[in-house]
Amino acid sequence: MPLAQLPETIESYRDRSWRREPDLRIEDPLAAERFIERVGFCAALTDSRRPGPSLYIAVCGRRDAHMPRNVQKDPESSLAWTIKDEVVRRGRVYYGKLRGNRSIFVARRLVPYFNALAGSHRARLQPGLSEDAQSILKVLRKEWEMASRDLRRASGIHDRYLFNKAIDELQKAFKVIPSEIVYDPVFTYIWSLAEARFQDELKAKVSREQALTEVARAYLSTAGMTLRGELARVTGLSNPDAGLGNWALVGEDFASRLAPGVYRLKELQV
């Protein structure tokens, strides 16, 4: 069931909740943080070709926003990029690669649930962190924050590909986060320990079932309706896990199941 088959009432609901309207567009970091807290989690710079809420689309204020090829000369993409960098620097919401290759923002209230899901997913794949990831983590636990170039040198991982692979592993394990993005004199990330900014959230203990439910609840609350496979594509969860989360919402009478894989917020009449 393709996304194009969403009822217009649901698209209009998303226009409001995902700020896809001109009078709701985001123009500064504070508005971006409020948006992230409202939706729970969102992509940073994806456009209308991918499902789910996006900071870039909210900056554009329209549902059909497409990222241009030359982002440096485009005022909307430049603004979205600037706001994204400032939100990362402020550190009031979580930012990092959690699943796949795209970084997302996560509201503080949902960090315990995403962390729980990352832990259960990681445990099924491998028992512990790789040697390269452990080397980086050892350096950051001593220094607390460091630029990519200095961190490569200090950890002894001189190959850029292997370093980036280890950094991605640590982000997905909720161990490190980018705390700042610097462009002068050269582009680089400043890396920090995730616990430095989100200690309480990362200490919270929640079950995997509760985590799936709350992630599904956060998405359905602002999406209004999810089509088959949509929650999985947005979050990086497997289809069975996404289904478990949505089914739990049906059990609470928070959602209605309309068809296999299709769920609607119970309070909405379509």
The span from the CA of 15 to the CA of 61, in Å, is 8
Q: How many CB atoms lie within 10 A of CB 118?
A: 19
- The proportion of the chain whose per-residue pLDDT surpasses 90, expressed as a percent, equals 80
Is this model's pTM higher than 0.85 or not?
yes
Cβ contacts of 31 within 8 Å, gap of 6 or more: none
- Return the pLDDT at 184: 75
- The string of pLDDT tens digits covering residues 73-107 is 789 999 999 999 999 999 999 999 987 778 899 99
- Return the pLDDT at 2: 42
Whether pLDDT at 127 is above 90: no
- Return the pLDDT at 126: 55
Whether pLDDT at 68 is above 90: no
Mean pLDDT of the chain: 91
Whether pLDDT at 209 is above 50: yes
What does the block give as tokens for 180?
A: 């700042």
| Alpha-carbon Rg for the chain in angstroms | 19
Q: What is the mean pLDDT of residues 231-245?
A: 93
Cβ contacts of 83 within 8 Å, gap of 6 or more: 26, 28, 29, 32, 55, 59
Residue 30 binned pLDDT confidence (cut-offs 50, 70, 90): very high
Whether pLDDT at 18 is above 90: yes
Whether pLDDT at 55 is above 80: yes
Residue 125 binned pLDDT confidence (cut-offs 50, 70, 90): very low
- Return the pLDDT at 240: 94
Collapse the DSSP code of 77 into the 3-class scheme (helix H, G, I; strand E, B; otherwise coil) and give the result: helix
The span from the CA of 233 to the CA of 67, in Å, is 19
Whether pLDDT at 53 is above 70: yes
- Return the pLDDT at 269: 65
Q: What is the mean pLDDT of residues 217-222?
A: 97
- Return the pLDDT at 69: 79
Q: How far is CA 201 from CA 107, 115, 174, 190, 196, in A?
A: 10, 9, 11, 21, 11
- The string of pLDDT tens digits covering residues 136-189 is 999 999 999 999 999 999 999 999 999 999 999 999 999 999 999 998 788 899
Contact between residue 110 and residue 42 where contact means Cβ atoms under 8 Å apart: no
